[in-house]
Amino acid sequence: MTVYSRAPLDVSHGIGCRLYATDGRSYLDCVGGIATDALGHCHPLLVTALEAQARRLWHVSNIFRIPEQEALAKRLTDATFADVAFFANSGTEAIECAIKTARRYHYVRGAPDRIDIVGFAGSFHGRTLAAVNASGNATYLEGFGPPMAGFVQCHLDDGAATMAAIAAPTTAAVIVEPVQGEGGARALDGVWLRRVRQACDAAGVLLIYDEVQSGMGRTGRLFAHQWFDDCEPDIMATAKALGGGFPVGACLATSAAAIGMTVGAHGSTFGGNPLAMAVGIAAFDAIADDATLAHAREMATRFTVGLGRLAADYPDLVVDVRGKGLLIGVKLRVNNREMMAALRERGLLVAGGGDNCIRLLPPLIITPEEVDEAVALIAVTFAAWRTRATATAAAAAVAA
């Protein structure tokens, strides 16, 4: 189907932060499979884990116990607020489980009318019908029938409406990304998160974090909300970097929040499959390592300094630099898609984002030299852009 707007680049192979095209060109990859290849391409630890599991066992379904699944669940719950985990194959499926968990919680507690999920403008939760309704993005909803009942929209900067929505008697849960990814790398602060946490507690409403993109080391902490105290969620979805590039997602929850998720309430054929779990365990151990997270924080600072300098040098091109850790957004005054193409021509791959941003989501293992290289490539691209813009303006003046 023609649902993707693909860059004209036939990918051949990758190693670390480098991606190679079939025509032999190489690129510095600051897309990282959209914040997924946290350990770069073909990390030896992940290759070894996948190869070993491929020889042992591929798939059995969840009719049987899968020891690797219990091992990864233990790692995730030990490292977070959560007590239990459900494994899916993608971010949007993890979100689906989160929404179902929240509604079911109220159902089994005798409040079946509490079904409303409060979401926020600019959010992205994936592409299932529930996920697009939770995010409320009109573009992603168009043509897919009437908006589904049970989803309410708020604005992140409208505190009064948010508090009122949380306090409403039919509200089941709030769903929010601690750092909005697709929406343009917008980071929430601890004050906002704590205020919502307290309001949820007061109203008996569950708090769901979507850390599909911001989680698994992306911000320099295992999960972005862990930068702040007293704002842990009841339910959290994660995916993307969880498998280091192998498709896997997880919905984590406290035992209390998952009270309705009893036998038969939910399921998946592939979710938690041994291949995904073997890679997930290897990826988790490498990413949750203090040295990896410290490195990610250092590289994030290096990027922030370099890009901050560029923003100061090119106020005609850059509005601001934002985000958290290695989830970096550069909001542009010029068309972000055209800038992405210009950067690609010079050998740097970046992602697009809402609010006319380009996003840098490099592997966490990016080296200082590669950070400097990325910033330098952006600098020469900006310089060429300005020269061209100036020449075009001068030609227009002559023609006039």
Ligand X SMILES: *Cc1c(COP(=O)(O)O)cnc(C)c1O
Q: How many residues bind ligand X (CB under 6 A)?
A: 15
CB of 182 to ligand X, least distance (A): 6
Contacts of 58 (CB under 8 A, 6+ apart): 273, 274, 275
The four Cα atoms 252, 254, 258, 262 give a dihedral, to 10 degrees, of: 90
Instruction: State how far the Cα of 297 lies from the Cα of 367, in Å rounded to an integer.
Output: 12
CB of 34 to ligand X, least distance (A): 6
Q: Pick the closer one to ligand X by CB: 88 or 365.
A: 88
Q: Pick the closer one to ligand X by CB: 238 or 381.
A: 238
Q: Is the dihedral of CA 356, 237, 257, 109 positive or negative?
A: positive
**Contact present, 271 and 89 (Cβ < 8 Å):** yes
Q: Which of 28, 206, 236, 239 binds ligand X (CB under 6 A)?
A: 239
Q: Which of residues 82-141 bind ligand X (CB under 6 A)?
A: 90-92, 95, 124-126
- What DSSP designation does 41 have? B
Q: Which one, of 226, 161, 233, lies nearest residue 201 by Cα?
A: 233
Q: Pick the closer one to ligand X by CB: 276 or 342.
A: 276
Q: Pick the closer one to ligand X by CB: 14 or 119.
A: 119
Instruction: State how far the Cα of 397 lies from the Cα of 400, in Å rounded to an integer.
Output: 5
Q: Pick the closer one to ligand X by CB: 212 or 348.
A: 212
Helices (H), the chain: 32-35, 44-56, 67-78, 91-108, 129-135, 138-141, 159-167, 190-203, 274-287, 290-313, 336-345, 368-399
Q: Pick the closer one to ligand X by CB: 240 or 331.
A: 240
- What mask of x and - would describe binding to ligand X in positions 44 to 83, judged by CB under 6 A? ----------------------------------------
Q: Which residue's CB atom is positioned nearest to ligand X? A: 91
CB of 148 to ligand X, least distance (A): 17
Q: Pick the closer one to ligand X by CB: 342 or 357.
A: 357
Instruction: State how far the Cα of 240 lies from the Cα of 217, in Å rounded to an integer.
Output: 11
CB of 90 to ligand X, least distance (A): 4
Say how many C-beta atoms besides its own lie within 10 A of residue 146's C-beta: 7
Instruction: State how far the Cα of 117 lies from the Cα of 224, in Å rounded to an integer.
Output: 22
Instruction: State how far the Cα of 209 lies from the Cα of 338, in Å rounded to an integer.
Output: 33
Residue with tokens 């923003």: 311
Residue 37 interacting with ligand X (CB under 6 A): no
The three-state secondary structure class of 209 is: strand
CB of 253 to ligand X, least distance (A): 17
Q: Pick the closer one to ligand X by CB: 179 or 342.
A: 179
CB of 137 to ligand X, least distance (A): 12
CB of 50 to ligand X, least distance (A): 19
CB of 109 to ligand X, least distance (A): 27
Q: Which of residues 285-304 bind ligand X (CB under 6 A)?
A: none
Q: Pick the closer one to ligand X by CB: 184 or 274.
A: 184
Maximum pairwise Cα distance, the chain: 76
Q: Pick the closer one to ligand X by CB: 239 or 366.
A: 239
CB of 185 to ligand X, least distance (A): 11
- What mask of x and - would describe binding to ligand X in positions 209 to 228, judged by CB under 6 A? -x-xx---------------
- What mask of x and - would describe binding to ligand X in positions 173 to 212, judged by CB under 6 A? ----x---xx---------------------------x-x
Instruction: State how far the Cα of 101 lies from the Cα of 89, in Å rounded to an integer.
Output: 17
CB of 76 to ligand X, least distance (A): 17
Burial class (CB in 10 A: 0-12, 13-18, 19+), 63: exposed
- Helical (H) or strand (E) element with 219: none
Residues that bind ligand X (CB under 6 A): 90-92, 95, 124-126, 177, 181-182, 210, 212-213, 239-240
